[in-house]
Amino acid sequence: MDKKKNSSPTGFQVLNSAALNKGTAFTVAERKQYKLQGLLPPKVITPDIQLQRVLNNLRRKQDNIEKYIFLTALQTRNERLFYKLLLHHIEEIMPLCYTPTVGQACKEYAHLYRQARGMYITAEDKGNIKTILNNWPHKDIKVIVVTDGERILGLGDLGTNGIGIPIGKLTLYVACAGILPHQCLPIMLDVGTNNVEYLHDDFYLGLTQRRITGDAYHDLVDEFIWGVQAVFPEAMIQFEDFLTPNAYALLNKYRNKVLCFNDDIQGTAGVALAGIYASTRISGLNFKDMKIMFLGAGSAATGIADLLCYALQQEGLTESEARQRLWFVNVEGLVVKGRQGLLPHNKPYMHDHEPLPFIDAINAIKPQVLIGATGVANTFTRDVIVAMAAASARPAIFALSNPTSCAECNAMQAYAWSQGKVIFASGSPFPPVAYNGQKFTPGQGNNVYIFPGIGLGTIISETPVITEDMFLAAARTLADQVSQTELDKGMIYPPLSNIREVSVNIAMAVAEYAYKIKITQSARPEDLEQKIRDYMYDPEY
């Protein structure tokens, strides 16, 4: 029998491969090597000119959704050029390929659909999930981002349209921490949708049935989790945009068994804690003496509180003393003892206090930090900001809800209503604000500062689980990377242009902790930083 020779891709195989394609930047020698002569325009274009061309074409688009579609097409045509564009112009491009544009893109995903991306595991696949996972062509998967689409950003149940979130998050893993693109896998768990609009939309791409719940739901997720362990044993699983009760149930069930975390609970917590740490360098307050109030009591808010409680205990407080620093307000007012209908994750934060509405609660408690994670726009009114400015000389305001349309307030409102006193951060980006002769640069409390570095650290250290101390280390590391110059501008996060260095440092902190407590069986490399940098994906040709 004749043995077939191994052949490298040539011609249109190369041009149609996102990972291999360089387009008009292929050199004369490469065109001969890959049999591309005659298949490309004759002039060899430098990568810099290529980059400028795509940037010019992108900027010609008037609508952000059209820009999102353009970037998606570029990513599937020329992967390295896409990531080079994202890295070189991250403050301009990231809001287009992720928050806030990704929210609208998800709502319209079925109508914008062009090409299959990621995997879909459905309620009809019970008993067959491992076989389906084996259909993915790459086996050395390191990071999986999975959602069931029930609570996409602040937009609610988007069903399979929510696949845009895992796709976008993994784009940021590659760009911001250098995770290799082929080692990333976005997955949609399609368990149905309760969004009536989608159930009657002929363009909708998911199961046209209401969501499965209870044992049927948890059995399906369980089969998925253990299927991943069998097919992709080195993969870290990031749970993304699950409804709060399911988010906590899944995290609590699997966090000590497999390599996983929930970004809405733990990633958001790490970013918020880092922002609070950094804010103390402006306010001069002691972290352990601060009182912090949350508007909203879902998974993001209580996840932040849980990490803050842990961090306060590391400062010497008892658990009871730590919880006394953390106060919640939801639609019914201050969360106090005797309240009915609270979920288990809320109950540790019930205080022995009279019930109060939001503004009255601020006036009574006098918090130095206010964190919004409501998913509801304009809930930080003028009266709220004025009350916070009266409660503290330099109050920190975190309007974390995404996308921009769901932000509790915008940067201009926060600075103007407080007469320039607030330290402000938001989930979506806002431009610098000029107020009363001062220029403020609002911070973006985006999880992108945390989760890419966490993922990179787990890959390098080969840790089998992710601990709370790793998020604490990540938060401290992130806060330490804000310079005095940046603090003087009102910034409590480093500029996004530094995101790869941020991720390297967080990865080092995560890996060092894994080696320190001997949670991993891999040996610490002599030069840990160099090992991290050697692994990272470089999009340059």
Residues labelled catalytic: 98, 169
Kindly write down the DSSP assignment for every residue of 439-499, as one continuous string.
Answer: EE--EE--GGGTHHHHHHHHHHHT-SS--HHHHHHHHHHHHHT--HHHHHTT-SS--GGGH
Q: DSSP secondary-structure letter at 219?
A: H
Gap between the Cα atoms of 530 and 250, Å rounded? 35
Tokens found for residue 413: 């409102």
Gap between the Cα atoms of 460 and 510, Å rounded? 9
Gap between the Cα atoms of 77 and 25, Å rounded? 14
Tokens found for residue 271: 């970013």
Residue 34's nearest CA partner among 12, 50, 63 is 12
8 Å CB contact between 262 and 251: yes
Phi, psi dihedrals of residue 397, rounded to the nearest 5°: -115, 120
In Å, the largest CA–CA distance within the chain is 86
Gap between the Cα atoms of 460 and 470, Å rounded? 14
Element (H, E) at 426: strand 423-426
8 Å CB contact between 272 and 400: yes
Taking CA atoms, 101 is separated from 109, 366, 506, in Å, by: 12, 36, 27
- Per residue, what are the HEC states of 299-321? HHHHHHHHHHHHHHHHCCCCHHH
Q: DSSP secondary-structure letter at 267?
A: I
Tokens found for residue 290: 């601060």
Q: Is the peptide bond before 42 cis (omega within 30 degrees of 0)?
A: no
305-309: Cβ within 8 A, 24+ apart: 305/269, 305/349, 306/265, 306/269, 306/345, 307/266, 307/269, 307/270, 307/272, 307/273, 307/468, 307/471, 307/472, 307/475, 308/269, 308/272, 308/273, 308/276
Helix, strand, coil % (nearest 5) of the chain? 50, 10, 40
Tokens found for residue 199: 């159930």
CA 412 to chain CA centroid, Å, is 25
Residue 133's nearest CA partner among 218, 240, 226, 213 is 226
Gap between the Cα atoms of 68 and 65, Å rounded? 5
